[in-house]
Structure 1
């Protein structure tokens, strides 16, 4: 076999996107994946019950639906089909009310009007803003930093005054965003709940903008799921890649990036095999793992080594999968048709949850993001049943337990049962009889998630905090907002790179394009400045 042009480390969605784009450009590409299956955090199985499909990690994909990168791959030609629930998100309350992000702006507005009549108008105003500027905002989000083209288009379209107001809104905490735009409880719940899909507390800067972005992506695209399970998205990426002559090897963990004369020239696998790379090595692994384990400190500038010690992972995650004998018996009508349901009794409960996490406490009343997968895709379980999951966050380093179960982070069977009981109690409160529908379940604590996917260090599903201090030109480290690294020919293609977590393929695409651009440097030009 001829020496490949590029070796891609990791067959997660970003690695597969990068490999596809390089193959499209005519490069010979080899992808090496440590696990026995490709997909990273985009995989599904029948491990809970043979009749039920469950997504192991990620499940809903509004960012993939909006991503120009994913759309440009035309994965529908390779078997991908999308399915959507009747409603996008529901946030039920104990009094029976439910804030619903519907499939049409009028549906959402009608739901919010039940909390306060003026909020229907507020929702339509926010949606009109998205219609005017959403495409350019998405372009800014997915482009390498700084997003010159999309940014200039957005600035020209908004003008200075409107642009500053929009920028200010994007930086607002979710609580303040809700206070400025809504009079009732429903709108702020949708904004803050969606912000907490990441690790943005109601009082965190950027939470309002992120929550609004997620709501508007849901309003525009829904929260789609691949028919048959998350693995169907990975399968389509792999089929497309192999059709272009690339090679994928699973069960081949890379243990070293081989560097000679300051350039990445090969990788070494666990069995000692050296796989050369004629032009580039692209790493779909977290930046700390890449630099500290695969590259080594001897090849890193002193300042970068110091910055690595300040890298902040996002919160750890506990995920529970359920095979249910029937749909969840919500007392609130609005929750029945929603693919995603948020479990928290109001905005103050979200703040309390986030404050406990900030103090290193395991929350006594978890905020749970729940997925009703058969509601979103009827192929996931037998007719009349529900394949469901719920996840909540816990601290990366647990100092204490705000509850009575003395959870300390050993994640023994007892601790896993204790956190699952808290999650299920929250659901049972809003859906009496929920527990009686459970046929089988699986509890995945942070060590389980990392074992199944080593990129989820400590159960951090976003490969680094979404907080403002580690975004844009600060992601993953100050001054590293682009995919090039301190080593020539080595590119960071994982979610630790800008723009971060979520299945949208942008980090992989940005890395691939940087590698391709580097070859177009005129003789004598600066290699580093173009990547």
Structure 2
């Protein structure tokens, strides 16, 4: 006999679980179905190298989760079910070829004095930005946390108009349309300060010259300055474990090794799902798919709305990422100075022009000659992730093409990730070795995760795209994933879309899932 639930959710990423928890809290009987052997999608933690060394598979930074509306409502329950945070006061830094570094710590004067050593003008600009951040954060956070409705966005702009007048609204709009380079050039003099912040754009598909990208370096810089960075104690997967436990305590369920073969649609309405083993799970109220846009059409078939279907088929993905998980005997000996051992993130992205070149190469299908390296040092703030005295390093290699057409350096001839993985990983480790000599000798074990492996593990990460779709202006805000459907609705009755491909997009803030649950159940 077929099982019947109020809500059926495809995929067990953090957006799915946030959605399920809220629906269950509103009295829905909810089931989450996951093709993989464990829940979490890109947010999970495992011993990928050696026993006792715990690595975050993809996402590491839980600052957005800790500051989210979902956590504000359910934080106590999550804490009771094992979620705790490891705060980092020394948040992120960048190293430079001349042997210097620059970093943001959760103390204004500490950060400002570092900047002042480069430029007194930039130090003043940093203090001014920090002072203005609470007022600036109000419309920005309101915008990013609002349902994707014209009325909601209009209300936020109206509030800003009441506060700062027409000029203020125009300034805000101009900022939201600015590229990282444009805003950084206007704001700072030092190329090193610009590079320090521009590196954050590369986390979210915003190379230096992409319109609309200034928001993210600004928010990361100011939020880390104001609040610090937050990691999950024991790994980012602790958030998934806690959400799963809260859901089950409220009567919901997560079923793994349960691949969905198709979404059942009858008379224009979604009625349930059919699993690969033939089981059917029926839904009284909603079928919710946390999948990449093209996959939604594959599961549900053509919706009858040609514009929507075409939008999903043409949905653009960002370049991929390679992950390198390292179990190490000790932290890197950074040539720029031992203070770098205190930072959660060290960016090896020393130049804005280099970042632009790297992005262009990856977009052209080339393995970049100088990829951006994000070196996470989580055991600095959470020693529980490794045996006593040992450490893990979390390396993101950005950008990397999903489909390889060539090598920008002319050295790697492989066109498939199975054979390109080792030489490209060696290129990344060469860069790390350049800034921290002797790091290779500290490696006890390593695990390479290519873009192809990321997609095989989680089909939402198309071509290794960890953010499930470009966030460029033509595919963000009201246009994510398709104009008119940024609230998670679809042309099919009772079928809804969530996850990073839906407004407000990627990150660990659980906004798409939580907003959809509020839309469905209040």
Q: Confirm or deny a common fold (TM above 0.5).
A: yes
Counterpart for residue 111 of structure 2: 108
Q: Residues 42-441 of structure 1: matches in 2 within 5 Å?
A: 42-74=43-75, 75-146=78-149, 147-148=152-153, 149-291=155-297, 293-297=298-302, 299-333=303-337, 334-392=339-397, 393-412=399-418, 414-441=419-446
Specify the SS of the correspondent of 1:279. strand
Q: Deviation of residue 49 (structure 1)?
A: 1.0
Q: Which runs of 5+ in 1 are unaligned?
A: 518-531
Q: Which runs of 5+ in 2 are unaligned?
A: none
CA distance in 1, matches of 2:59, 2:260: 24
CA distance in 2, matches of 1:154, 1:6: 38
Q: Deviation of residue 150 (structure 1)?
A: 4.2
Task: State the Cα deviation string for residues 486-511 of structure 1 (Å, max 9, x = none).
Answer: 11111111110011111111111122
The TM-score, its normalising length taken from structure 1, stands at 0.93
Task: State the Cα deviation string for residues 123-157 of structure 1 (Å, max 9, x = none).
Answer: 11112222113143112102211334544434433
CA distance in 2, matches of 1:4, 1:309: 30
Q: Deviation of residue 476 (structure 1)?
A: 0.9
Of 339-348 and 142-151, deviating more is 142-151
Q: Is 1:497 the equivalent of 2:502?
A: yes
The TM-score, its normalising length taken from structure 2, stands at 0.95
Does the aligned pair in 1 maintain the 2:402–2:452 contact within 8 Å? no
- 1:407 and 1:18, CA in 2 relative to 1: closer, same or farther beyond 3 A? farther
Match of 1:443 among 445, 448, 465: 448
- 1:319 and 1:120, CA in 2 relative to 1: closer, same or farther beyond 3 A? same
Task: State the Cα deviation string for residues 378-426 of structure 1 (Å, max 9, x = none).
Answer: 11112332201211221233332112333544112x4111111111111
Aligned residues: 514
Task: State the Cα deviation string for residues 421-466 of structure 1 (Å, max 9, x = none).
Answer: 1111111111111111111000111111112222212211100002
Q: Deviation of residue 2 (structure 1)?
A: 7.2
Counterpart for residue 469 of structure 1: 474
Task: State the Cα deviation string for residues 65-117 of structure 1 (Å, max 9, x = none).
Answer: 22122222112232211112341101011222212011122222122112211
Specify the SS of the correspondent of 2:284. coil
CA distance in 2, matches of 1:467, 1:461: 15
CA distance in 2, matches of 1:16, 1:515: 15
- 1:476 and 1:408, CA in 2 relative to 1: closer, same or farther beyond 3 A? farther
What is the RMSD of the two structures over their aligned residues, measured on CA atoms? 1.7
- 1:239 and 1:504, CA in 2 relative to 1: closer, same or farther beyond 3 A? same
